[in-house]
Homo-oligomer: A and B are copies of this chain.
Amino acid sequence: MGIDTDKSAGYFPFYGRLANEQKTVLLSNLQKRRFNKGDIIHSGAEDCIGLLLVTEGQLRVYALSDEGKELTLYRLFERDMCLFSASCIMASIQFEVMISAERDTQTLIVPALVYKQLMTDSAAVANYTNELMASRFTEVMWLIDQIQNKKLDSRLAAFLIEESYLTSDNVLSITHEAIANHLGSIREVITRMLKYFQEEGLVKLGRGYINLTDTVRLTDMAKNSLK
């Protein structure tokens, strides 16, 4: 459970530009934490555990409406840093997201106050944070475009292809409910659409799994949405 400081330093692109004292502060305050698949890591703004750096695994960042409807905003993979688990470090972050582990996930945590101090003192850290936020902003803008301008058939096809890529498997073990939560839809609508996909020969539905039988056409559908 020890922390390999040399390896850890490599995760922070700004490390080389810190003063020696700041390097020590960063490394000596790092915490290692493991999450199990399915764990809710962060739920809303009151909860500010710090910046999460994914060293292994996969996190899902999603919005949750007042009525409990979910919408996946983006995912975080190895070497990605999660800013919104430390949203308390920035006064202007006035929205809440949920974060869950989609696989067993190993993280390094920079405590919120430690990161805030580094960011206040170091332009390199502050600018790195800017780029981080701009990347997430880009993903959310892409999502808005999808929601506004792509039909659900196209978004569902894109989701299935992405899942297949992430799991390196054409057979997905995922419930219709879970897909609905990713796409901000409801189970009934996803089930209806998947049945249509099956009739079209794009997938084969089984008990608890979806077999992607025509990934070429699915990929094509994901790209060429009908308006």
Residues of A participating in the B interface, judged by any CB pair closer than 8 Å: 63, 65-67, 69, 71, 90-95, 97, 119-123, 125-127, 129-138, 140-145, 147-149, 184, 227
> Do residues A127 and B119 form an inter-chain contact, with CB atoms below 8 A?
yes
Which chain B residues lie closer than 8 Å to A66 at the CB level? Answer: 149
Interface centre among A93, A97, A138, A227, by most B CB within 10 Å? A93
> Do residues B137 and A63 form an inter-chain contact, with CB atoms below 8 A?
no
Alpha-carbon distance A133/B132, docked complex (angstroms): 11
> Do residues B123 and A71 form an inter-chain contact, with CB atoms below 8 A?
no
Which chain B residues lie closer than 8 Å to A227 at the CB level? Answer: 67
8 A-B pairs with CB atoms under 8 Å apart are A90-B134, A93-B138, A119-B130, A123-B126, A126-B129, A126-B130, A144-B147, A148-B184
Contact partner of A137 among B127, B140, B142, CB < 8 A? B140
> Do residues B137 and A95 form an inter-chain contact, with CB atoms below 8 A?
yes
Contact partner of A119 among B69, B90, B123, CB < 8 A? B123
Q: Which 4 A-B pairs have the closest CB atoms?
A: A126-B126, A92-B134, A95-B141, A123-B123
